Amino acid sequence: MPETLEIWHEIVANKDPTRLGEIIHPDAVFRSPMVYKPYHGRDILVFVLTQVIEIFEDFTYHREMISDDGRSVFLEFTANIGDKSLKGLDLISFDENGKITEFEVLIRPMSGLIALAEIMGKRMAAFG
C-alpha cells in the first residue's frame, strides 16, 4: 500500500494520470459524491480520476490517516472549481497486493459539489 499511495501522490502532484491503470484493481469500485449507485471497474475509475485531476484547481492534501490494518487510507483535501471552494475526503481501500479496490469521495459544501457535478455530468455523458 505505501508504494501505491506514493504513486497516487505523484500522479496528483504532477497532474499526470499515466500510471493510474497500474495501481487500480480491475474490479475496483468507485463511489461518487454525486450518485447513489457505485461504478464498477478500473476503466471508469481511471476515467473519473483523470477528469477530476484536470478539473480541480489548487488541489492540496492536508491530512492522511491510515487504518489500523493498513488497508485503508483517508485523505483530506481542498480544491477550487472556478470561484467555488470545496473540501473533501478520499477514502481509499487496497487489496493485499496494494491495488486500489475502492475509491470513495466525499465533498462539501453543496456549492462545490454542484460545480463539480455540472462539469462531470457532461464528461461522464461522453464516457458512455
Query: What grid cell was written down for 9?
Result: 501522490
Whether residue 99 lies inside any domain: the answer is yes
**Structural domain contains residue 122:** no
Is 56 part of any domain? yes
Range of the domain at 58: 2-109
Residue 89 counted as domain residue: yes
Distance linking the first and last C-alpha atoms of the chain: 31
Chunk the chain into consecutive blocks of 10 residues (it has 128) and report each block's average pLDDT, rounded to whole numbers: 92 95 97 89 95 94 95 97 95 97 96 90 75
The domain total for the chain is 1
Q: Which amino acid is at 128?
A: G
pTM equals 0.92
CATH number for position 51: 3.10.450.50
- Residue at 64: amino acid letter: E
